[in-house]
Structure 1
Amino acid sequence: MQFWTSSVRTWPDRATVDRAVRAWAAALAEGQPQPPIRCVGYFGSYARGDWGFGSDIDLIVIVEEDSTPWMLRPLRYDTISLPVPSDLLVYTVAEWAKIRQEPFGAQIAREVVWVYSNCNRRGVRSADHRRFHP
C-alpha cells in the first residue's frame, strides 16, 4: 500500500509494519483457527531492517499439525489488512523443527521476529519453546 501524504510516494516503515503484523497475528489467534496456531513471526527485509520502497513482509506461521498440502495452507489466512504485500509460509511444528536444520530454515530462524507465541500453553515443554525462539 502506498501512503500519499504529499507528492512524494512513501512506503510503510518497520514500526508501522510491525504493529500491523502484531495486530494481525493477535486477531488470527483470537479467532481460534484450526489447526491451532503455535507461533507467528516475520523475517526478511523488515526483520533485518533493510526494507525499502516496495518491500513485502515475509510471514511465518507455525501450527500444531496440518494434513493440508503445504502450498495450500497459506490460502486459509487473509493478509489483506497488512499495509504491505505479504508472502506467507505455514509449517507444522514437526516441519519447522526439520526445516530449521536446513540453510533456508536456519536463515529464517536467525532473523525471525516472533510476534505471537502460545508455546508455553497446553503443556508444551521448555525445550519445545526454544525450537521457536532461538
Structure 2
Amino acid sequence: MPVNSHDFLSFAKDCHNRADEIGYRNAIGRAYYSSYHHVLPAMVNGPKESHQGLINYLQGDACRGHEAYDPKDMRGIGFILTQLKAQRIIADYRLDQHVTSKQSGLAINMAVRLIEKCTEMTKSIAS
C-alpha cells in the first residue's frame, strides 16, 4: 500500500516520542519529507526533479503566475520548506551537532503548519 505525506508526518511524531537524539534526528527528516511530498503534487507546473528545484520554483516562477495560488502563499511555503530542509541537513549530516527535542518539535510543528496551509490553498482553488 502506498504511503502519503500524512504517513511521513505521523512517523515523524513517533520518532520524536522516542525521546532520544536519533529519534529527534529522524523526526526532523520525516517532517521535511512529509512537507515535500505534500507540496510537490499540488504544483501543477512546477519542477519534479529536485528538492531545491521545488523550493526555487515556489520562490520564483510560482510567485510569477505559473500556479493558480496566491504568490504570498507560494513564498511562505517555500520559506518553510527551506527551513525544514536546512534542519534536515543538520539532522542527517552534522553528527557533531547535538539535536534536541525542541528542534524536533519545531520541525514537526512547521510541517503541520505547511500541510494545513497547502490544504487550505488547494481547497480555495477547487472551490
> Would the TM-score normalized by the shorter structure come out above 0.5?
no
Higher RCO, 1 vs 2 (CA within 8 Å, ≥6 residues apart): 2
Larger CA Rg, structure 1 vs 2 = 1
After TM superposition, the score normalised by the length of structure 2 is 0.30
| Structure with greater strand share of residues | 1
Greater fraction of residues in helix = 2
Return the TM-score normalized by structure 1. Answer: 0.29
